Structure 1
């Protein structure tokens, strides 16, 4: 998760002054939260949702409940938006919703109403609009519609009317318009159309006319236009075309001509243009091309040439352009490349590379660019990636991580970015996620958490968000996307308060959604408030409004967020600002209780203390990083968050000076794994007078990983820092904002090479109060959803200036869903009793 630092918001009197200058866009895609949400359908019956299809922006699928059996359901990803569409087979009978397809805004599928057998149905998403299209085989017998396919707004499918066998049918959604296209195998014989495929408005399929065997056919929807394309295996023998796929208007498939075995073929729809592409395996045995997929106009597939085993191949439709991509498992042994999946132009698949077992691979179509991604189940055991699914540029799949069993994983194509999403069935039990589906850029799937069988789970799309808090001179908070576009703004305290606001983000209730944690700057009481990142409203949780120290203390507070006691709930860490002692307190995110408190430096030191949180030792527990405020040297320390005694932890980078010891203007701190070793590294920013000097220290050995100026070196306002994996490459990136005297220039530097990931002004570029910043991933929507930062124990840091009186709050969000913000106040008398004796002298 992100901790924080904010920089100037450019806000005055509830208005945004000026406009932001967009300098560079981060990315043109949303990312996905890393925490799946459970949607309960029936707590007493395993719902087993599957056959997901996107329809009108929602997921439609088959699921079971105790009252209605297996029926058609829909979900927008929320509990309230998950409902039965219609009990097609009334009561506990099952309708067996199957083979859904969207044809120009109408959902067609097969179902059984208990009276007419398995027949063709349609739905507009409502109960009344879910109807039988036609009882093709009248009475209780079933026509068994199958291979439903949309060809330019017309539905084609296979069905049997009880008289003519299973033949090709079409439908416009009316009973009269649901008709036999052609009795291909005349009379009661079955032509059994299969592999129905739309090639630029023409239907191609396999069928048996009773004379030529199973061969390649085409249809324009008329009887006369439904014709044999070519008798590939002449006479009554069948070539059995299969694996039909459209590659830029050309049909590719595999077939057996009776001479060369099962090989790769292509067709332009004419007999002459239906040709063997290449006899990959010489002789009659065939190479058996399989798992075909189109990636950037090139056909990729697996085939066995008899020399290298079953390996990854590609074809441009010519014999010379049909080539082995790579012998992944060297020699005659097969890598068994499978589950080929296109993720924004990069091919991902499962293969065995020998010592790694069956693991995740990727390819750009070249030998050198075909690479092993990660040994998910280390050693010779296999992780067996399964169900590879592209959701908005991120690959999701099921894999066995060894100790976790078969669980949900994700990958961006790097080893560091290939990560377990969550162990839904802890210990060594498997949740075995299945039916992974991209529905409107949201991942839907089923998994077994060990409670109620296979249940519905959702992972929502999110986008990188920046949260900025003004320094002294203003009291507003802005939430912006990575381009600098404002999403909403609010005043966490009184609009009259201009002491500045320090910010952090974290998940305080363990639901996978980020909250914004604010702390007042100098001039106000040490008040901490928590807001919903999605809406900007006061957090509806137990810990949302409290004083970190005695209410009479008005020096200001710094804040960071992280799970220091490993209970699954992020905790709130506070540090007193200049004028107070270096007093650090840790409040439980679960119940608000004080977990620990200590003085990071000499209690007599009055420069205050800045705080950050990160798992410095890669042990699953967040540690507290402190930086001395003005008046002391640039002293950084690391403490155990749960049981700190005020003594820094032992280690290579737990007690050191980040800059020249003579520099006494204070430093800001943040934490994030910048070098990908699993440990949160320490990021520092110089205070006023030191220039915008940023350093990154390895937590493993104290070495300097990065050393740069975030702005013009002549700027003397200092720099505030934060850290988050902004582009989700497994490496934390560095966020910066300037201190007083600088415009609200917000930047994000790649943790890998310091390249720009974001570069914009958060507000009026002419306002120079300075800022604090934090970040995270969220979905800004009026629908509750999963907003999570996929880096649970690495929050960013916060800096400070001063706040004022904090008794009243006015929220002015630019989103309608934030208009009804809940007000919550605690009396000073009650807080005095709760925190008596804990003030700073």
Structure 2
């Protein structure tokens, strides 16, 4: 049963009206549907930085049928936590005492098999790789890769078949580029070692793909162009897979379509859409667009993309076949600010749920913050491309998450005026879109973030009446208020 009352879907007037906000508010969940699991930030100790938030990586990771997360405080202390989703099953794994190091000491968490890896800064060893098996005694430094207080810098930390694979950056003396090394770890000192050196005259781009049980890296060089590299965590399995371009280019976007990886290569002035199955023969260019392009996702055998119009005032929704070519424009999204200066539309986030694609579209302004952000859904057709809600967060540093639960519900953050973001939900129609909770009524909102699912509940962090950020949860199957079942149009 969908959460909300059945109303006519119809065509929405895209002028700045609040009628859909009043309708969505009428479908809001009553107090108590979302609840705080545990106080993880003692009142007065904040602000807290949740591990992974500044990196844009997962803040809640799953291992041993539990969720793990880290909290970092301004006094230089950190705590590794785990939870089974209940207050009594939420506890500190290991607490790190304050040190004169600015936060966050604990970086992003990555679960590999039954272990959780993270980089952690300690005065004696610098920033190095740590691991935890979920117990205090089993939480320890893996290996001091840069002996003494010198730090090691990790990138593309990826779980592959129960092992951790990552890229280590080794600074080089000017004017040379840093060196890049591929490493693997099983969580032990002896099982943590360098697999391969990447070519010294290449730069490793900041995006990567995991395809066919291997990490795929994009390397660029002014003299040798742009090359896709592959590593499965072994020396023999680390090699250049395919040259993508003769120039030193950037990869602007990556995504997945089942067992395929997708990416957009900036071959200025064109944006090339590629796919890879992890083989040289299966790494192919699908299509090219003469404008900035973002991947939205795939439905069936079609890839959907957003491209900016030549005058930078509109966003076109296009599709191409996974078999290559067949470029088709689906629709053009409205921009009520098109005649105002620097009002360029762009995609913030995307996800897929219930056979539909969801995305947030922002419209830029003359300042750092967007002037508008709205949530959209598409089934791949013009008629099935609709705006579900606006505004989402209008901040220049905090974007609304889009989290797809396994039952097709999408969780996001929004408000009625863009100022006070709270958790919202949708099942893909405006009549099944509403506010999940008003966790922090008043000036700032609760700014929910870090959504993750365990069982039939979604978990997230929110700023609540404690005055700090805490761990919250809600059921993914929402019925608020009780109403007739509604078809997903």
Does TM-score exceed 0.5, indicating one fold? yes
Q: Who is 1:165 aligned against?
A: 179
Structure 2 residue 157 is the aligned partner of structure 1 residue 152: no
Q: Distance in 2 between matches of 1:376 and 1:208?
A: 39
Deviations 1:95-145 (A, max 9, x none): 722232221222122112332111111111111111212111111111112
2:70 to 56, 62, 65: 62
2:310 to 306, 309, 314: 306
CA 140–162 in structure 1, closer or farther in 2 if over 3 Å, else same: farther
2:211 to 199, 202, 205: 199
Q: After TM superposition, give the deviation of residue 263 of structure 1 in Å.
A: 2.3
Q: Distance in 2 between matches of 1:92 and 1:456?
A: 27
Q: After TM superposition, give the deviation of residue 218 of structure 1 in Å.
A: 1.6
1:182 to 193, 196, 199: 196
Q: Distance in 2 between matches of 1:90 and 1:52?
A: 23
2:89 to 67, 77, 81: 81
Q: Distance in 1 between matches of 2:218 and 2:362?
A: 33
Q: Secondary structure at the match of 1:61?
A: strand
Give 1:424-443 correspondences, 5 Å limit: 424-443=439-458
Instruction: From the two aligned structures, give the one with the greater strand fraction.
Output: 2
Contact 1:49 1:62 in 2 (8 A): yes
Give 1:295-444 correspondences, 5 Å limit: 295-296=299-300, 298-304=302-308, 306=310, 309-329=314-334, 333=338, 335-351=345-361, 358-374=373-389, 386-392=400-406, 393-402=408-417, 405-444=420-459
CA 365–332 in structure 1, closer or farther in 2 if over 3 Å, else same: farther
Q: Who is 2:114 aligned against?
A: 105
Q: After TM superposition, give the deviation of residue 225 of structure 1 in Å.
A: 3.7
Q: Who is 1:4 aligned against?
A: none
Q: Who is 1:218 aligned against?
A: 230
Q: Secondary structure at the match of 1:416?
A: helix
Q: Who is 2:39 aligned against?
A: 40
Q: Who is 1:469 aligned against?
A: none
Q: Distance in 2 between matches of 1:220 and 1:76?
A: 31
CA 395–256 in structure 1, closer or farther in 2 if over 3 Å, else same: closer
Contact 1:216 1:241 in 2 (8 A): no
Gaps spanning 5+ residues in structure 2: where?
A: 1-30, 52-58, 173-177, 339-343, 364-370, 393-397
Q: Who is 1:836 aligned against?
A: none
Q: Distance in 2 between matches of 1:296 and 1:55?
A: 31
Q: Distance in 2 between matches of 1:420 and 1:247?
A: 30
Q: After TM superposition, give the deviation of residue 61 of structure 1 in Å.
A: 1.2
Contact 1:338 1:349 in 2 (8 A): yes
CA 452–117 in structure 1, closer or farther in 2 if over 3 Å, else same: same
Q: TM-score, normalised by structure 2?
A: 0.75
Q: After TM superposition, give the deviation of residue 275 of structure 1 in Å.
A: 3.4
Q: Secondary structure at the match of 2:446?
A: coil
Contact 1:351 1:358 in 2 (8 A): yes
Q: After TM superposition, give the deviation of residue 304 of structure 1 in Å.
A: 2.5
Contact 2:286 2:325 in 1 (8 A): no
Contact 2:315 2:346 in 1 (8 A): yes
When Rg is computed on C-alpha atoms for both structures, the one with the higher figure is 1
Contact 2:128 2:143 in 1 (8 A): yes
Q: Distance in 2 between matches of 1:49 and 1:331?
A: 36
Q: Distance in 2 between matches of 1:134 and 1:360?
A: 44
Q: Distance in 1 between matches of 2:419 and 2:459?
A: 21
Q: Distance in 2 between matches of 1:116 and 1:169?
A: 19
Q: Distance in 2 between matches of 1:72 and 1:368?
A: 47
Contact 2:222 2:248 in 1 (8 A): no
Q: Secondary structure at the match of 1:141?
A: coil
Contact 2:61 2:69 in 1 (8 A): yes
Report the aligned-residue RMSD.
Answer: 3.6
Q: After TM superposition, give the deviation of residue 274 of structure 1 in Å.
A: 3.6
Q: Distance in 1 between matches of 2:134 and 2:254?
A: 30
Deviations 1:251-290 (A, max 9, x none): 32111346x5332122344555543321222xxxxx2322
